[in-house]
Structure 1
Amino acid sequence: MFRRLTLAIATSIIVAGSAMAADPIEGNWKTDSGETAQIAAAGGGFAITLRTGKHSGKRIGEMKANGSGKYKGTITDPADDKTYSGNATIKGNALAMQGCVAVVFCKTQNWKRQ
């Protein structure tokens, strides 16, 4: 009986710990253009890679957590390979992905979690 209880508690702790380890930004996101972008942990931050569409497999960005659901890094337009300073803000299953030139000229896309 004690052995079963210990095993059940240990399993619960392991499952809860691995669920808590994932950052809210990690996962697959549907972009405004209908493609799927995957955001995964990489090198102390997060890598953004397209998984579907014409540019599938292309890495299009890197972000680092800033706290409170905000991220900062770079984002690349896969069509012309131009890289911009980027910001991302996550709220539930919505991700506002923003690329800026000179902080003044910005474009935002709203991605949805898949």
Structure 2
Amino acid sequence: MKRLVSTTASMTLVAFSVLAQDPVVGTWKTQVGTTAAIDECAQGYCITMKTGNSAGKRIGSFQGRNGNFTGTIVEPESKKTFTGVLTLSGDTVHMRGCTMKVICVSLIWTRL
């Protein structure tokens, strides 16, 4: 009986951890067709490229919750760092960032 209670408690904890995960966590298709993963990390959330020339490289980090985040993202090809916002709407991530407050870009990624 004691073992059954322990197993049930462990399963409940795992289920709660999965349910508590922010919806922004997942694998996303970028505008150029590559894929990127958004995962929890020490900075809040981190973006790591999964495919393409920059596969395996961390290209961004951000903080926030409830679908609204702020942080930075590095454009892998140009190496420019953009500071801005990321918003989650269903299975779409919208990012808008600027570098040197002059050059701004917008990106839309979709969940895979």
TM-score of the superposed pair, with normalisation by structure 2: 0.83
Q: Relative to 1, partners in 2 of residues 1:23 and 1:68: Cα closer, same or farther, differing over 3 Å? A: closer
2:59 aligned with 1:75, yes or no? Answer: no
CA displacement 1:63-108 (0-9 Å, x = unmatched): 111x331110001010011101021000111100222131x64211
Match of 2:24 in 1: 25
CA displacement 1:25-68 (0-9 Å, x = unmatched): 11110000000001111114111110101111111100111x33
Instruction: Give, in whole Å, the separation in 2 of the partners of 1:62 and 1:93.
Output: 19
Q: Which runs of 5+ in 1 are unaligned?
A: none
Runs of 4+ aligned residues of structure 1 deviating over 2 Å after TM superposition are: 5-16
Residue 8 of structure 1 and its aligned partner are, at CA, apart by 8.6
Instruction: Give, in whole Å, the separation in 2 of the partners of 1:59 and 1:6.
Output: 41
| 1:24-103 matched pairs, under 5 angstroms | 24-65=23-64, 67-101=65-99, 102=101
Contact 2:95 2:106 in 1 (8 A): yes
Instruction: Give, in whole Å, the separation in 2 of the partners of 1:89 and 1:43.
Output: 20
Report how many residues are paired: 111
Match of 1:111 in 2: 109
Q: Which runs of 5+ in 2 are unaligned?
A: none
Give percent identity, aligned residues only: 39
Contact 2:43 2:61 in 1 (8 A): no
Instruction: Give, in whole Å, the separation in 2 of the partners of 1:47 and 1:69.
Output: 15
Report the RMSD for the aligned CA atoms in angstroms: 2.2
